[in-house]
Structure 1
Amino acid sequence: MTSAASENPRNRADALPKSWNPSDVEADLYERWVAAGYFHADTGSDKPSYSIVLPPPNVTGTLHMGHALDHTLMDLLTRRKRMQGFEVLWLPGMDHAGIATQTVVEKQLAVDGKTKEDFGRELFVDKVWDWKRESGGQIQGQMRRLGDGVDWNRDRFTMDDGLSRAVQTIFKRLYDAGLIYRAERLVNWSPVLKTGISDLEVDHKEVEGELVSLRYGSLNDDEPHVIVATTRVETMLGDTAVAVHPDDERYQALIGTTVYHPITGRQIPIVADDYVDPEFGSGAVKITPAHDPNDFELGLRHNLPMPTIMDITGKIADSGTEFDGMDRFEARLKIRERLEAEGRVVGRKYPYIHQVGHSERSGEPIEPRLSMQWWVKVEGIAKAAGDAVRNGDVKIHPASQEPRWFEWVDNMHDWNISRQLWWGHRIPIWYGPEGEIVCVGPDEQAPEGYVQDPDVLDTWFSSGLWPFSTMGWPDATPELAKFYPTSVLVTGYDILFFWVARMMMFGMFVSDDPVLTAGKDANQKQVPFEDVFLHGLIRDEHGKKMSKSRGNGIDPLDWINEYGADATRFTLARGAQPGGDLSVGTSHVTASRSFVTKLFNATKFALMNGAQPGELPARDTLTDTDLWILDRLDEVIAEVDAALDNYEFSKALEGLYHFAWDEFCSWYLELAKVQFAESEERAASTRIVLGNVLDSVLRLLHPAIPFVTETLWQALTAGAEGESIVISSWPTVSGATADAAAARRIADTQKLITEIRRFRSDQGLADSQKVAAKLIGTDTADLLAQQAGIANLAKLTEPGDDFAATASLEVRLTTATVVVQIDTSGTVDLDAERRRLEKDLAAAEKELAGTTGKLGNEKFLAKAPDEVVAKIKARKEIAEGDVERITVRLAEIATLAAK
């Protein structure tokens, strides 16, 4: 600290603006951090490594609240680790988002009346790359607005050459190991996109449909027949059986026989299967193996034919009926009308509310469809992914999510990895003129005359390689040597199965790769990440899931523009609990903005009073106030460290919030004002304690609110502690033994001041109004030193010769009972105070009557949950106390008025 700064502390306070306006600071400050290289990871560093790979957002995307939460938590973790002395890599990147991106570009072409077929595959893919270069990556600018401390020099894209090489390599290794195969299976088919889609790309919505009960077999009641019900009448064209439960006595004579199909005219078998619920409907179900996932499994068990009766656009095809060529929904109506005319519709339930899967991208109902696709055999690699968690090589936070993880990976079905698209990683399979099949690796060429498979890989295939493909695998790189395995994956629990599972499977499959194990500890498991932190979903302030249809979504950029990045980040981090959803709304972000403003104003006050970090005076020369705040700081550092080490962000930020606002600003700064006025020696000591505590508070808060803390820290230290808080050291506990006696005395002081303030309010005194008072009992050793602080914070003045106590209060403390006598004569409008209290009394009596009535209602008590009853009892106790307190005060006023 320069002597000029010490002699004229206002120089540092004047370095700050009059008020905190985030938009004036954030953009320039962020670019200075990037230019200074603070976020660039050095692979040659001797520091211990810490690494996170950013879950790659879609190149078509924008920053939504889920992203903002993810990014805030990752930035908080990496900033803290950087301050703790780790070499930190936070690696950014984006996903090519096969379906989403192709859909965007196709819509652009459609404006000019064009389709991708008008250009051909190669030219269309060129157009997608053009779009990516011109319009993609909007989210990068939004990441900068949020303050993401990522290593922009290592930005990755799933379609880059290096990552494409990794995709080809892993495909060939899996293929050569017999884990990739081609087969006809049922998939989620999008008739609009003309491709299979993953489960994650299916939105399940409640729709109003129609449940139609149909008669198969004879129309004569004396001859064999069955009744089946369906919401998808059109699929009956692909029926190959009717199934009943093997123990259903109604159908014992029909099992093994056949029944007449009313549209195709075929005789189809009646089979017995435990899948059928005999209690639902008639207990008989039509089986369409090529268009229903449950029917498909049953068809496999009973070796049933599986005719596909729809083409890739969802039109009826190859059914051999008059319905060929019709759209599936038109056919649904026409088939039902024909069956009605024949007397085969025996029941219709409308509306029938049921769940129907819809394509997330194109919006239409998906069609389960039998299709020739490429698959990954997952049994072995899924088991390895499960064992990695069972063995403790990967830890899931919270541990309560582990059973869901095991349930998924232990029962995973083979993974459909092919998509009928043009944008994406082309499947590296080539077909020869005689039907030969060859898988081509990244450094190989297909034989002349061979033709490549037209499909591309599921986007999750390439993003499943993200932890190591982004660091250069399959080649040996300094990044892999230094930063792999990664330290933690931060993501929402909703994609635990889709993305996390795939990264784990691929990571375990290549775990013994020499590229990954070279130079590593033989006992260190080469998992893709050591920890998985799963946070919940963002909900609105009423607890409802955010969605466009509800109109309750929040654009984080709107918050950043209005309240600042720090307030936005603090709101999200403060609400983030392991595995728990978090509700956010305007009230939350305004509270966070108030906190940032409070911190700004507190720092400005401290600087104006000469606060500066430095070597602390000997503890035996410090006041109770100083010892208390220093010891509390030690406790808070330990609590924050323990919470963040366990990914308990909410606990850490909540503790910091209350320490900074309630203890540091509301108590210590106010008590410090008294110490500044005592003597120059005391003031000098207080400035150093205040400076040190503020320095630590800013550092502790920096990972969550980086912009304001950098600005304030620069002013506080005036460059003496380093060039940026970003690379400053993380606070550590002092090691001093806490002074329990000082803490007790300050606690007593706080209690006494709080009770006096409450008492003053009951007397109708304004917060700023000073009043004469006598404190009897503060002459004990524990309180004597705090009398000036008590008087200052409680707005009390010395009693004069004409002092006459008009009200008194008794406060029981740890070592003394203090009686507070106040002279309110001439300070309170008795009539106005009486009217106010009478209004308050009426409200309290109404509350008391209402709660008493509910607790006296036996029917209510019998039905109400225990927690509801407990809340009403608590409300009743509060109301009783209010009635008693207000009644006493009204009596006092009546006495004063009579004098």
Structure 2
Amino acid sequence: MRAIELEKAYNPKDFEDRVYREWEAKGYFRPQSDGASPEDAGRFRTGERFAVVIPPPNVTGVLHLGHGLNHALQDIAVRYHRMKGDDTLWLPGTDHAGIATQHVVETRLKKEGLRRADLGREEFLRRTRQVTDEHHAVITAQQRKLGNSVDWTRERFTLDEGLSRAVREVFVSLYERGLVYRGRYLVNWCPSCGTALADDEVEHADTAGEMHHIYYELADGSGAKVEIATTRPETLFGDTAVAVNPRDGRYAHLVGKLVKLPLTDKEIPVIADEAVDKDFGTGVLKVTPAHSPADWETGTRHGLPVVNVLNPDGTLNGEAPERFRGLTCEQARPLVAEALSEEGLYKGAEKITHSVGRCYRCGSTVEPFVSDQWFVRMKPMADKALEAWTGGGIVFYPRKWENTYAHWLENIRDWCISRQLWWGHRIPVWYCACGETLVSRADPERCPACGATSLRQDPDVLDTWFSSWLWPFSTLGWPERTKDFDAFYPTTALVTGHDIIFFWVSRMIMAGLEFTGKAPFRDIFINGLVRDAQGRKMSKSLGNGLDPLELIAECGADAVKFTLGFLCAQGQDVLVDRESFRLGSRFANKIWNASRYILGKLEGRSLVSVPDSALAALDRWLYARLNETAKAARNALESYRYNDAALALYEFFWNDFCDWYVEATKLSFRSGGGAEKDRAASLLLNMLEESLRLLHPFLPFVTEEIYGKLPLAELAAAREAAGNAAAVVSASRYGGMLIAAPYPAPNAARENAAEIARFGTVQELIRSVRTLRVECGIQAGDKVRIAVKAEPAAVFAEQTELIKLLAGAEEVQFVSEKPEKAVGAAGNSFEAFLLATGEIDGEQLKARFLKELSAERAFADRTEQKLAGSFARKAPPNVVAAEREKLARSRRRIERLSGYTASL
């Protein structure tokens, strides 16, 4: 066979972009049912399907490492199911991200000295589309760099024509069903952006502030006062009551009386409400329904008036005394305190730290604000979504997130869906001067009541989530029954973060049930957050963020993907630093070097069929381990245990295949004849080919590049010539790329627990000898003499040459008694001894062991004392755990050294 060469050094930059372009150009990312895959795609169809819609990133955002983790996990699952033979679709797309995108554009305009009003709505939207096109190109390029095997031919955008039609259909349908209504309610309001915000668009942070203590006089002329503590004295002009707990005896006599509203000529009642915490502050609360969610609820229960004291830009309005009008809350606060002090109504202020909500986009303080908005009535849909969970229609991985899901649905509030923006889906509502309101699927031309044509459309747009909650079915063509909708809805799985269980996951389930009668997916895998090695959230302020594109440039996309999958334990956050990705880089490099070695051994060799009868014990062992690994990887990936699958693959390829099997075959190439070398080369190639298929979902680029170098036609011919020897022959697809090859399946004929156990004892013996060599200070190149005491000894005797090769021994003796002048170690069914030679002086070795034993005992004593003291109570749990592991290792070494000393 001709020489097959790989470049000496593994360099992912040489091939990753090229391989991705080839995958995409040849249609491998499209479902097999499209007929766009290679000719033989249908031969391995399972009859099952696997569909995932990507959580659409904001079109003006940049992919961070959290996206990198989420996309890596989806890609691993998609590649596995594609290879498994499922009809697989991974549908990509982006979110128009209303407020975020509009903020980007308005920031650009500000630099030009312009506002959106200066441009007008149409020109502003044109510019915004231009910005989204620029950012979209960046995001899709990033996704290609990550290796996302998404079907780009089906890419969607939440503002494209098809999705816009779905949004309008849903709004109008909900309105017709009485589930959409307009009302005047308290919402989150950003004075800077000039719009209502969703709860998830408000970021809360602990902020330094003051608690102001104010007196409110009773209106009965008695001169009596009640003390109230508040962080916001400037909103007192919107107070419509003072509240106390009905069980608070201190204030029972005040209930029903009136108090004077400071700095005004108004009087407001004292009410009793169970929500008042009598142990907090003075136990008396000012009730400002227009500027506090809790006060809104109190005011609703008691039918209190709602007085809004703020303008939309966050300044005080005409409800405040004239000297405070036009001031921001921050400007007015000290002035109101000063005015209260002049009236003798101000006791003082104390420094506090409290949670303040800020706009996630511009950072401005968010105000509770009363305004006219559109809402969705959520309770009826939430009840259906709860039934879907209790009935087993959806399953969370891990299960703990089901409680979060249920709690939110059981305590759900109506959803404010209108935003005072220009970028987004325009609300399909029109108003006529005659008072008629039209809610329509198509733009109306005239008023049905009076015939007027001068209709005014509602200026607001819909919350971004209103389009993304339809994502699993709107992207497939709904409201029409398209081929894609029939083939891939409901989708199979959703992979996302826990922070949007409320705002996206739950709403998608509600929308799916409401409009299709089915939950939009069955499996919901909630991945953890990516944190730094100290467990801190990655942020610009801490400077601990990692750019996935920088990591890819340093070590390749495979290294990033494998590392994230390896570290992604279900239900846990992923802790990484830049050094972490060396794990994936080293593994990809190992695959490259092992493949290069094997391909180099093919030169001059003939690939031959190897029937079962010609398999050696070592061959049967590796096939059994490969079979176990295929089973473990499949089971783990089916239940989204990414780290378990990655660990199984890593252990098999690095340890079983490379460190044991490939090393062992050196005996065949060193001393075997031509036929033996042909046999060894054929088996190595066969096992490498299957290993690459096993590894592909986690390391797609390097495995694809190597796979393309394999002599697949010759290998296929050799396999076919072997007949149906179950231990060797496996179904495989040739003429295509690895991305579409079949994923290795467990093979009952390969199961061989006895062979695994037998070779396991040989491995244990070799490891014991290697440990003895290190403990005795024997150099790697020095040969040793070994004695083995075992009953029976046959399992070791038949592997004598392998033991000599891998243990660095020149001689292996089998004995019935412990030899003189020997140091040994005991295994489960053997004792192994290093015999005294020129390199081993028994007395010197004993002295060495005694010295090391003394040092190890001293270290163990110090560590025990450390763990018994305050360290164990004060240090972080992970630091304490690391110290306990050090102690455990030290105790194990003490036991070994004691045994060595005794044996000498």
Alpha carbons of structure 1 residues 125 and 869: separation in structure 2 relative to 1, 3 Å: closer
Tell me the amino acid that sits aligned with residue 483 of structure 1.
Answer: F
Which of 796, 800, 820 is 1:787 aligned to? 800
Aligned-residue offset at 1:51: 1.2
**Distance in 1 separating the partners of 2:472 and 2:124:** 30
Alpha carbons of structure 1 residues 829 and 431: separation in structure 2 relative to 1, 3 Å: farther
Aligned-residue offset at 1:862: 9.6
Who is 2:705 aligned against?
Answer: 711
**Distance in 2 separating the partners of 1:881 and 1:164:** 66
TM-score (norm 2): 0.90
Aligned-residue offset at 1:80: 1.2
Q: Tell which deviates more after alignment, 93-102 or 767-776.
A: 767-776
Paired residues of 2:552 and 2:560 also in contact (CA < 8 A):
yes
Who is 1:319 aligned against?
Answer: 319
Aligned-residue offset at 1:132: 2.2
Aligned-residue offset at 1:283: 0.6
* CA displacement, residues 844-867 of structure 1 (integer Å, 9 cap, x when unaligned): 24322213435776x889999999
Paired residues of 1:626 and 1:686 also in contact (CA < 8 A):
no
Paired residues of 2:494 and 2:524 also in contact (CA < 8 A):
yes
Who is 1:30 aligned against?
Answer: 20
Who is 2:773 aligned against?
Answer: 760
Paired residues of 1:109 and 1:115 also in contact (CA < 8 A):
yes
**Distance in 2 separating the partners of 1:75 and 1:891:** 55
Give 3-state SS (helix, strand or coil) of 1:137's partner: helix
Aligned-residue offset at 1:614: 7.9
**Distance in 2 separating the partners of 1:405 and 1:856:** 42
Q: Tell which deviates more after alignment, 652-661 or 835-844.
A: 835-844
Who is 1:584 aligned against?
Answer: 576
Who is 1:205 aligned against?
Answer: 205
Give 3-state SS (helix, strand or coil) of 2:254's partner: coil
Who is 2:695 aligned against?
Answer: 701
1:567 aligns to 2:559 (yes or no) = yes
Runs of 4 or more off by more than 6 Å in structure 1? Answer: 219-222, 611-616, 827-831, 833-839, 859-874, 887-892
**Distance in 2 separating the partners of 1:827 and 1:563:** 44
Paired residues of 1:722 and 1:728 also in contact (CA < 8 A):
no
Q: What are structure 1's unaligned runs of at least 5 residues?
A: 1-6, 513-525
**Distance in 1 separating the partners of 2:608 and 2:109:** 68
Alpha carbons of structure 1 residues 182 and 884: separation in structure 2 relative to 1, 3 Å: closer
| 1:664-703 to 2 correspondences below 5 Å | 664-676=657-669, 677-703=671-697
Who is 1:657 aligned against?
Answer: 650
**Distance in 2 separating the partners of 1:799 and 1:649:** 42
1:771 aligns to 2:784 (yes or no) = yes
**Distance in 2 separating the partners of 1:484 and 1:19:** 45
**Distance in 2 separating the partners of 1:768 and 1:341:** 92
Aligned-residue offset at 1:657: 1.1
Q: Tell which deviates more after alignment, 879-888 or 528-537.
A: 879-888
Which of 496, 499, 505 is 1:500 aligned to? 505
**Distance in 1 separating the partners of 2:759 and 2:272:** 79
**Distance in 1 separating the partners of 2:881 and 2:581:** 31
Which of 491, 496, 502 is 2:496 aligned to? 491
Aligned-residue offset at 1:726: 0.7
TM-score (norm 1): 0.91
1:470 aligns to 2:470 (yes or no) = no
Give 3-state SS (helix, strand or coil) of 1:286's partner: strand
| 1:110-125 to 2 correspondences below 5 Å | 110-125=110-125
Alpha carbons of structure 1 residues 828 and 461: separation in structure 2 relative to 1, 3 Å: farther
Q: Tell which deviates more after alignment, 38-47 or 180-189.
A: 38-47
Give 3-state SS (helix, strand or coil) of 1:200's partner: helix
Who is 2:736 aligned against?
Answer: 723
**Distance in 2 separating the partners of 1:511 and 1:315:** 46
Who is 2:833 aligned against?
Answer: 820
| 1:348-387 to 2 correspondences below 5 Å | 348-350=349-351, 352-387=352-387
Paired residues of 2:79 and 2:149 also in contact (CA < 8 A):
yes
Who is 2:621 aligned against?
Answer: 628
Tell me the amino acid that sits aligned with residue 497 of structure 2.
Answer: G
Aligned-residue offset at 1:603: 1.2
Aligned-residue offset at 1:42: 5.3
Who is 1:519 aligned against?
Answer: none
Alpha carbons of structure 1 residues 878 and 379: separation in structure 2 relative to 1, 3 Å: closer
Aligned-residue offset at 1:41: 2.8
Who is 2:528 aligned against?
Answer: 536
RMSD of aligned Cα (Å): 2.9
* CA displacement, residues 54-75 of structure 1 (integer Å, 9 cap, x when unaligned): 1111110111111111111111
Tell me the amino acid that sits aligned with residue 741 of structure 1.
Answer: A
Tell me the amino acid that sits aligned with residue 337 of structure 2.
Answer: R
| 1:34-49 to 2 correspondences below 5 Å | 34-41=24-31, 43=33, 47-49=47-49
**Distance in 2 separating the partners of 1:884 and 1:135:** 62
Aligned-residue offset at 1:613: 12
Which of 515, 524, 540 is 1:548 aligned to? 540
**Distance in 2 separating the partners of 1:783 and 1:42:** 50
Give 3-state SS (helix, strand or coil) of 2:749's partner: coil
Paired residues of 1:293 and 1:368 also in contact (CA < 8 A):
yes
Alpha carbons of structure 1 residues 836 and 299: separation in structure 2 relative to 1, 3 Å: farther
Aligned-residue offset at 1:392: 1.4
Q: Tell which deviates more after alignment, 100-109 or 214-223.
A: 214-223
**Distance in 2 separating the partners of 1:64 and 1:244:** 48
Q: How many residues in Structure 1 have an aligned counterpart in Structure 2?
A: 863
Who is 1:451 aligned against?
Answer: 456
Paired residues of 1:778 and 1:787 also in contact (CA < 8 A):
no
Who is 2:425 aligned against?
Answer: 425
Aligned-residue offset at 1:876: 4.7
Paired residues of 2:213 and 2:347 also in contact (CA < 8 A):
yes
Who is 1:81 aligned against?
Answer: 81
Tell me the amino acid that sits aligned with residue 192 of structure 2.
Answer: V
Tell me the amino acid that sits aligned with residue 503 of structure 2.
Answer: F
1:557 aligns to 2:569 (yes or no) = no
Tell me the amino acid that sits aligned with residue 632 of structure 2.
Answer: E
**Distance in 2 separating the partners of 1:868 and 1:557:** 31
* CA displacement, residues 270-318 of structure 1 (integer Å, 9 cap, x when unaligned): 1111111001111111111000000001000001111110111110002
Aligned-residue offset at 1:101: 0.9
Give 3-state SS (helix, strand or coil) of 1:249's partner: coil
1:438 aligns to 2:438 (yes or no) = yes
Aligned-residue offset at 1:599: 1.1
Alpha carbons of structure 1 residues 424 and 864: separation in structure 2 relative to 1, 3 Å: closer
**Distance in 1 separating the partners of 2:219 and 2:75:** 70
Alpha carbons of structure 1 residues 875 and 482: separation in structure 2 relative to 1, 3 Å: closer
**Distance in 1 separating the partners of 2:217 and 2:50:** 69
Which of 847, 861, 866 is 2:859 aligned to? 847
Which of 479, 483, 499 is 2:484 aligned to? 479
Give 3-state SS (helix, strand or coil) of 1:729's partner: coil
Give 3-state SS (helix, strand or coil) of 1:438's partner: strand
Which of 14, 17, 26 is 2:7 aligned to? 17
Q: Tell which deviates more after alignment, 160-169 or 619-628.
A: 619-628
Aligned-residue offset at 1:30: 0.3
Tell me the amino acid that sits aligned with residue 653 of structure 1.
Answer: A
| 1:161-200 to 2 correspondences below 5 Å | 161-200=161-200
Who is 2:723 aligned against?
Answer: none
Q: What are structure 2's unaligned runs of at least 5 residues?
A: 36-41, 448-452, 717-733
Q: Tell which deviates more after alignment, 580-589 or 848-857.
A: 848-857
